[in-house]
Amino acid sequence: MLHINPKMLGRLEELEADLLARLQQAKEENWLGEVEGINLTLTFLREKREETQRRAQRRTVELGIPTRRLPGAG
């Protein structure tokens, strides 16, 4: 699954604006298949944006550097 860098949220806004313009044109031209495809893409884009915003609010957890255990030790 692809995770979007939170720095790219602005780009998602640009993509959404472009899709909305294309959706308007598709509706005006009565391109029903195109309308359906754009609506689906908008749904995925919005879900991805929400997920990215949630991930950006979570703090990262430092797990440390793994070490090898010696045989017979604990």
- Model pLDDT for residues 29-52, shown as the tens digit of each residue: 999 999 999 999 999 999 999 999
**pLDDT, position 46:** 96
Residue with tokens 């991930």: 55
Indicate if the pLDDT at residue 1 is higher than 80.
no
What is the pTM for the complete model shown?
A: 0.73
C-alpha triplet 22, 26, 28: angle, nearest 5°? 115
**pLDDT, position 38:** 98
Q: Who contacts 27 (Cβ-Cβ below 8 Å, separation ≥6)?
A: 35
**pLDDT, position 22:** 98
Distance CA 64, CA 14 (A): 38
